[in-house]
Structure 1
Amino acid sequence: MQTDSSFTFVLFGGTGDLSMRKILPALFEAHRAGGMLHDSGKIVAVARHAADRGEYLQWVNEHVKPHVSKNGVDEAAWTSFLARIEFVKIDLGNPEDFVHLRDAIQDLPGIRVFYLATGPSLFVPICHALASVGLNENARIVLEKPLGYDLKSSNAINDAVGEIFAEEQIYRIDHYLGKEPVQNLLALRFGNALFEPLWRREWVESIQITIAEELGVEARGDFYDNTGALRDMVQNHLLQLLSIVAMEPPHSMDSDSVRDEKLRVLRALKPIDPNEIGKVAVRGQYHAGGIRGTAVPGYATEAGVKPDSTTETFVALKVEIENWRWSGVPFFLRTGKRLADRVAEIVVNFRPVPHSALGASALRAGANRLVIRLQPNETIRLYCLAKQPGEGMNLASVHLDLAFDKFFREGQMEAYQRLLLDVIRGRLALFVRRDEQEAAWRWVEPILNEWKTSTRPPKPYAAGTWGPAAASAMLAQHGTCWLEEEN
């Protein structure tokens, strides 16, 4: 896909981990593909940890190259990509330094994109500093999560940014929405007569959404101990995926049509009764254990974590949507650190047939399901029952793979690459609108408040397992289990 959109992409936090691992590799892949980025487009990195452009490019060579092009780096493409990059040394705490940024980019062509790959405490000061030198016009601004600590702080940031940038200029990024299987989920539902009639309470028994990590808090102990899994993963990633799965068909794929339907789902979430939180929410914290044969410490002994911390590293929730399509269908959400595997997936369990002449196996739960795997490998599989070869009517589970690489020559586009191109082209559909964010915060706040004042500590689980037993017990009450437990 080609573009005639010239741009100046200003990357705040230009030496940070996110810039090195995700943003610059994504821009390089778009550059290497040819035609995706306008020839005159420039990338302007902003940081204070490099002395000049030469030192910054040396940093990029060292820290970005390992994350690009799995089959090796095309050196000619890499050299021409580096030619796009400029560098401006700025102390973000000093608004007067932004004059240097204005002088560096004022004659560069095209739309200006300001990507804030920084901590949220810098969002408002950066926006004010940009406005003070007139850089908030003809511009788009990208905000990384977390956007606030709760509804009040989120609104405070949005209010402040909204005084400087119009809502249509603000791109709140959630990279899970840019993943290829999530896009294909929309195509499956709204482009095929096969799935849409089944996508409702009459035919769906339950839905699971899991984002599991093998890693612990790594070097982010201080940040994570003040955040926790509910804020870090549920309020944004998991609820966004839920809204995509459960939304009604939009009248078109334009930005507001898609986001209007997601908002309706978020507003239809059954409110959490503080007295019922123990029945529908499980919080856990990992203790020492082993990941693939390697011993790892418990959360409370990680660097930057308070020894008596009650911060959750695991959350499992039972969620209900109070509308005509989904009433009575439980959605089970789960996320955690130091779990048994790194996986993100959506599991749609269809109801068994109402009567089987083929034996009890055709009536078992989970006989028919759709599994959308988001990571580590991106796949979509439809599971169903088929007769085993040989004598008798013996059924076995088989699956149909949507093997995109066999049908399309183009490789799958990474999530950040798709989203960054959408920012440059002015497409807002895959970015979170303010009212969506407010609805998500409003729904999780009763859980946040209950856990904040609770005298009960998080349930322990050993690193390298799938979390507390209570998470499995919650599903067992509904006659089901997590996917890996069935296998």
Structure 2
Amino acid sequence: MINRLAVFGATGDLCARFLLPGLAALCARGHLDDSFELVCSDQDDWDTEQFRSWAAEQLDEHGDELPAEARRAVAGAARFVRADVTDPDEVAAVIAGEGPLAVYLALPPSLFSSALSTVERCGLPGGSRIVLEKPFGENLDSAVELNQMLAGMVPEDAVFRVDHFLAMATVENVLGARLVNRVLEPVWNSAHISEVEIVWDEDLALEGRAGYYDNAGALRDMVQNHLLQLLCLVAMEPPNSLSERDLRDRKVDVLRSVRPLSDDDVVRGTRRARYGAGRLNGSVVPAYVDEEGVDPKRETETYAEVQLELDSRRWAGTTFRLRTGKALGSNRKEVAVHFKPVPHLPFGSAGEVQPNVLRFGLEHETVSLDLMGAGAQVRSFAPLTLTAQMTEPDLPPYGRLLLDALSGNAALSIRGDEAEEAWRLLDPVLSAWERCLVPMQEYPAGGDGPPDTSAEHDESADAQR
């Protein structure tokens, strides 16, 4: 267990909302001892006392459910060192000390390369680990370059490309539901499942994140990492074990089985949009292009949808639809597995019968199953939903990821080849969007998202043929 953590980008939103509360949760559960060292760094002209005061405020706001003693311990243990990640002397002062440490880059992806180059020049003690936030790079070329840099610094099992979705309790239940329950595994294939939706719709707008988001967009921010990781867990073949190698091998198999997207596929099977002015949760929201810090010339999308097909024995014929959007009227965050209808109904005119849908709630730890039950009239049917609330996990997602990084358990981190495969899938989408092959749609804040124009695309294609 590594007992030293250095965080670059420590005054940012990620550290305030997730890393500090995650460390406090570890402290409350007894995973950190009195010798734990926390060195926090950024370019702000602060001293340690200023940082500790700020950290205490952030913990009170974002970790108020945690014991006050644990919050005070984490804030009090922090030491602040001002540093520019491109300056070797300043970075050396951050990582100086005895024994191995975990270096956490809570930075925008555009700074990863320069930060890693500086850390490499300073030298890391043997046994150290490097933790990088998503997205890992900005495209395939940058991901390959980062992997090459990391390979020259530390072994692959010391690199933690973290995605907090993989540490969410509900996500782990996706694997548990299908691999442990005999009733599901035999029907977990294209013979019984018509479509899988992986959705992260937010009723939040930009929330002051223009500095990062306007350089990323919905596809890079959510689809390339979070949603593709969920796709891997839903579609993977059963691993021999949940060990680091077995689990990550099966995830890579899924990504390699995704049918490559041509320009025509991107036009037919993807959508991009950004929100306009509207009302959200009772408040007036400006259009995305009018948000502070946004450059309209970037053509950054706040909504992205991608339809994928897998060329594998298990999934040939099933559609996988990945979708995310900001400033939407609903807060829908789930994996929805749509089963095919039964081949025959012996009841005559039984009214509308809906196929079954198994739903994994991604935010509130629920699993539900949409069925058809007996209706009020003879031989009639009505929708029936069975819902289960899952047990609250003992650690929040970032607490789990930090514990894994400090203890060296890489099973839930993303392997280098996996990161490259994810970009290989979506680089064609980025390329087609940059060439404006898919129009930028608009939807009002607080609405349902952009209109579905897939039928228009199909009619246009038919007319051209």
Moved more, 454-463 or 241-250: 454-463
What is the distance in 2 between the residues matched to 1:347 and 1:51?
47
What is the distance in 2 between the residues matched to 1:152 and 1:55?
40
Matches within 5 A, 1:170-189: 170-189=159-178
Q: Is the 8 A contact 1:315 1:334 kept in 2?
A: yes
1:442 alignment partner AA: R
Indicate which of 72, 86, 101 corresponds to 2:79: 86
Runs of 4+ in 1 over 6 A off after TM superposition: 474-477
Q: Deviations over 1:332-367 (max 9, x none)?
A: 1111111112332100011121112345558734x3
Q: Is the 8 A contact 1:383 1:397 kept in 2?
A: yes
1:368 paired with 2:356, answer yes
Report deviation, 1:471: 6.2
In the other structure, the counterpart of 2:118 is 129
1:403 paired with 2:389, answer yes
Q: 1:39 to 1:353 in 2, by over 3 A?
A: farther
Q: Is the 8 A contact 1:352 1:363 kept in 2?
A: no
Moved more, 255-264 or 466-475: 466-475
1:327 paired with 2:313, answer no
In the other structure, the counterpart of 1:432 is 414
Moved more, 447-456 or 355-364: 355-364
What is the distance in 2 between the residues matched to 1:283 and 1:230?
9
In the other structure, the counterpart of 1:23 is 19
Q: Is the 8 A contact 1:300 1:309 kept in 2?
A: no
Gaps of 5+ in 1: 478-487
In the other structure, the counterpart of 2:68 is 75
Q: 1:393 to 1:135 in 2, by over 3 A?
A: same
Report deviation, 1:476: 12
Indicate which of 238, 247, 250 corresponds to 2:239: 250
Report deviation, 1:229: 1.6
Indicate which of 32, 35, 41 corresponds to 1:46: 41
Q: Deviations over 1:24-63 (max 9, x none)?
A: 1011012112x33344322222234253322211111122
Matches within 5 A, 1:67-466: 67-70=62-65, 74-103=67-96, 105-106=97-98, 111-358=100-347, 364-365=353-354, 367-375=355-363, 377-388=364-375, 392-405=378-391, 411=393, 413-454=395-436, 457-466=439-448
What is the distance in 2 between the residues matched to 1:475 and 1:346?
26
In the other structure, the counterpart of 1:66 is 61
Indicate which of 50, 54, 75 corresponds to 1:55: 50
What is the distance in 2 between the residues matched to 1:331 and 1:403?
26
Q: Is the 8 A contact 1:379 1:402 kept in 2?
A: yes
Q: Is the 8 A contact 2:204 2:326 kept in 1?
A: yes
Indicate which of 3, 9, 16 corresponds to 1:7: 3
Q: 1:331 to 1:99 in 2, by over 3 A?
A: closer
Identity of aligned residues (%): 36
Q: Deviations over 1:231-267 (max 9, x none)?
A: 2221111111111110000011011111111111111
Moved more, 48-57 or 194-203: 48-57
Local SS of the residue matching 1:100:
helix
Report deviation, 1:210: 0.6
Q: Is the 8 A contact 1:6 1:38 kept in 2?
A: no
CA RMSD of aligned residues (A): 2.4
Q: Is the 8 A contact 2:267 2:437 kept in 1?
A: no
What is the distance in 1 between the residues matched to 2:387 and 2:409?
30
What is the distance in 1 between the residues matched to 2:297 and 2:110?
26
Local SS of the residue matching 1:226:
helix
Q: Deviations over 1:133-187 (max 9, x none)?
A: 3325211111012222211122122222222122111111111111101101111
Moved more, 210-219 or 253-262: 210-219
Local SS of the residue matching 1:303:
coil
What is the distance in 2 between the residues matched to 1:288 and 1:312?
15
1:58 alignment partner AA: S
In the other structure, the counterpart of 2:462 is none
Q: Is the 8 A contact 1:385 1:396 kept in 2?
A: yes
What is the distance in 1 between the residues matched to 2:351 and 2:225?
37
Gaps of 5+ in 2: 460-465
What is the distance in 1 between the residues matched to 2:287 and 2:325?
14
Report deviation, 1:6: 4.8
Q: Is the 8 A contact 2:360 2:368 kept in 1?
A: yes
Q: Is the 8 A contact 1:124 1:161 kept in 2?
A: no
Count of aligned pairs: 459
Report deviation, 1:402: 2.5
TM-score, scaled relative to structure 2: 0.92
In the other structure, the counterpart of 2:463 is none
In the other structure, the counterpart of 1:482 is none
Moved more, 194-203 or 132-141: 132-141
Local SS of the residue matching 1:304:
coil
Q: Deviations over 1:390-447 (max 9, x none)?
A: 5523322222222234xxxx64532111111111221112111111111111111111
Moved more, 176-185 or 140-149: 140-149
2:25 alignment partner AA: E
What is the distance in 1 between the residues matched to 2:202 and 2:193?
27
Moved more, 290-299 or 304-313: 304-313
Q: 1:416 to 1:102 in 2, by over 3 A?
A: closer
Q: 1:98 to 1:313 in 2, by over 3 A?
A: closer
1:130 alignment partner AA: V
What is the distance in 2 between the residues matched to 1:383 and 1:360?
21
Report deviation, 1:18: 0.6
Q: 1:221 to 1:78 in 2, by over 3 A?
A: closer
2:75 alignment partner AA: L
